[in-house]
Amino acid sequence: MDKKYIATPIRTKEILQKYHFTFKKSLGQNFLIDVNVLKNIIGHAGIDETTGTIEIGPGIGALTEQLAIHSDKVVAFEIDQRLLPILQDTLADYDNINIIHADILQADVKEVIKHNFPDGQQIHIVANLPYYITTPILMKLLRERLPVGSITVMIQKEVADRMAAKPNTKSYGSLTIAVQYYTEAKVVMNVPKTVFMPQPNVDSSILNLVARKAPPVQVEDEDYFFTIVQACFAQRRKTLRNNLSSHFKGEFDKEKINDILESIEIDGTRRGESLDMQEFSMLANAFYRLQQHE
């Protein structure tokens, strides 16, 4: 059976030759050519025949095909018009796939879910994401608080490590906080370059994000919270006090910043990477309240 799957080097080459398809660097196209890797992704995504799935960037349909086999229905967003006739051909055997020609960053995903899946169906997002646009795509999906149980994506290893990082590590930063505010993040598998065509220059990982029912911390204002987090990481080698002084220049002096830090018992000589999410929320809430009273 494996011979017939799209995700083999031979079949992928045949499809590319048949359609004279050339990879667009600008779209970050790297197609998966290993069925076992795809089955691993599906296993980690918690998909079965009752679940609905959403895919981003189906390419020539390698992952789409496996999703169609293992889940109830697949809705896939493809930005590259040249791939639409190819997908129509490669996925002709499956009647549970809907390909939407759209840029995921512009799409109204909530509306698509409403039109394609019955109320209450468990939905998972699964994708082999283009490296150059991973973060904007994931942040859009997370901020929109879509009715999905999880997001499982193949992304650049370094980015996956940052999203799943713990405090006091080199990978830990504002991106970590942003992703873990909405989800529980875990790197479930590392993937070598050799399972892609063409081979990318970087190693990949499969990242599993399970949606939280509620954020792990209470913040007065989400946008403000993320702004403060970014300010604390603006220059990683600087102390909290110095980064916050730069951020609030002309608004609060160092003394005022020190007072705030002392009031919530956070040492201003620490660096951003040493704070956990609870401490960031206390910090952001304290400054937010102060600004409301100014």
Q: Looking at residue 25, what is its pLDDT?
A: 66
Q: What is the DSSP letter of 91?
A: T
> Per the annotation, does 57 bind a ligand?
yes
> Per the annotation, does 43 bind a ligand?
no
* Residue 55 neighbours by CB under 8 Å, 6+ apart: 63, 64, 67, 74, 75, 76, 77, 125, 126, 127
Query: Going by CATH, does the domain composed of 222-293 fall within 3.40.50.1820?
Result: no
Q: Where would I find the beta strands (DSSP E) of 4-96?
A: 31-32, 52-56, 73-78
Give the position of tokens 């409403």: 114
155 pairs with which residues across the strands? 205
Give the position of tokens 């993040």: 185
> Per the annotation, does 40 bind a ligand?
no
Q: Looking at residue 250, what is its pLDDT?
A: 86
Secondary structure (3-state) at 150? strand
pTM above 0.85, yes or no: yes
190 pairs with which residues across the strands? 205
> Per the annotation, does 265 bind a ligand?
no
Q: Taking each helix axis from N to C terminus, what angle separates 277-293 and 254-263, rounded to the nearest 10 degrees?
A: 130
Give the position of tokens 């590590």: 169
Q: Give the domain ranges of the chain.
A: 2-211, 222-293
H or E, element range at 210: strand 204-211
Helices vs strands, H then E, count in the chain: 12, 9
Which CATH superfamily does the domain covering 2-211 fall into?
Vaccinia Virus protein VP39 (3.40.50.150)
Q: Which of 2, 56, 12 is nearest to 32 (CA)?
A: 12
Secondary structure (3-state) at 16? helix
Whole-angstrom Cα distance, residue 88 to residue 101? 12
> pLDDT by residue (tens digit) across 96-113?
999 999 999 999 999 999
pLDDT range class, residue 75, cuts 50, 70, 90: very high
Whole-angstrom Cα distance, residue 64 to residue 294? 54
Q: Looking at residue 280, what is its pLDDT?
A: 98
Q: Residue 205 pLDDT > 70, yes or no?
A: yes
> Per the annotation, does 32 bind a ligand?
yes
Q: Which of 125, 112, 109, 123 is nearest to 209 (CA)?
A: 125
Q: Looking at residue 3, what is its pLDDT?
A: 47
